[in-house]
Amino acid sequence: MLPARAMNELYNIVHDRPFTILFANYSWALGIAGALALLWAIETWRGRRESDEFRFTLPLAVALIVGGFINVLSEVQQPGRLIYGYYLGWSNWDTAIIKYGIILLPIFLVLTWWLSFQVMPRKELGGEIASLSKPWRALADFFSLWSRHYSLFDRPLLTRIVLITTAFLGLFAPLYSAVFLMNEHGVPLWNSPAQAMIFLASSIAMAALIQAAIAPVLRWLTTGQWQLADNSKELRWLAVIAIAVCAVVWYGWMWWLGRFGMTEQERAANLFMGPYASEVFWNWTFIGLLVPVFLL
């Protein structure tokens, strides 16, 4: 069909290879992981260290980051392309954000991995590791970064520094792909800050829903006790507000492009609001926005 061909052209203009669903999976996973880390840092700063979200949020973030990395490595097929992008990024330092992602996102993974062990009660963690045989105990100590021997939260200044770093990387993760698409692919439709707002707001909405719904499930699986998050009402309202931001920015963006955009942008807006209007409404607005708001 012509609309599908036109949409593919708009998405992948001046691309040697079109993007696949792997890149979308990577952006989705890293974005939600970043928002989870951001919410965790804020709640921890507020002193909420006994909640389910405090213990279970970061392992979920680690799983999402690893899943995102697997997707992007499958997308580029050859890891050497990432190294090439890193060096090329420093040659074009004013625009290429990929060089920062290649550095900061692995740091983000290591940080969340380490914090996943730091949030565990040190006595329980130490008891579990001490019960292992010597070779396995050494391996467990290595992979937990020897967390049973010290606690980050005994050092207030270091805790603040780590929380600020976590919040920064949590913001960077959902915005990285948005800025990457804005600056480095020459697609007029993507070159808008509205895209970054949608990336960030949708990530925060998903993170709030995960903390409100999945953390109690993990508590039930590990302890056999069912209890909603103490701040579940706050999380639900945060998700509703973030979803509303997505809707307002999307339709405002399409309205603006349809009236004031360049030719390529007008074509994209007319495509989304014309031949694909029903698909956008039912799959994105109704299922993606209205149904979650109703369930909340």
Q: Exposed, middle or buried by CB within 10 Å (0-12, 13-18, 19+), for 38?
A: buried
Q: What is the average pLDDT across 103-116?
A: 92
The single residue listed with the structure tokens 């949030």 is 119
Q: Name the fold adopted by 2-295.
A: Formate dehydrogenase/DMSO reductase fold (1.20.1630)
Give CA angle at 291 (288, 293), nearest 5°: 95
Q: What is the pLDDT of residue 118?
A: 92
Task: Name the residue ranges covered by the structural domains of the chain.
Answer: 2-295
Quick: pLDDT tens for 204-246.
999 998 888 887 787 787 777 777 777 778 888 898 899 999 8
Q: What is the DSSP string of 181-204?
A: HHHHS--GGG-SHHHHHHHHHHHH
Q: What is the pLDDT of residue 209?
A: 87
Its pTM surpasses 0.85: no
Return the closest-CA partner of residue 55 out of 164, 215, 228: 215
The phi and psi torsions of 20 (rounded to 5 degrees) equal: -115, 180
89-98, 102-111, 237-246: segment of lowest average pLDDT: 89-98
Q: Distance (Å, rounded) from C-alpha 161 to C-alpha 251?
A: 39
Q: Distance (Å, rounded) from C-alpha 182 to C-alpha 188?
A: 8
Indicate the length of the chain as a whole number: 296
Quick: pLDDT tens for 240-293.
899 999 889 988 888 888 788 777 777 777 777 777 777 777 777 777 777 777
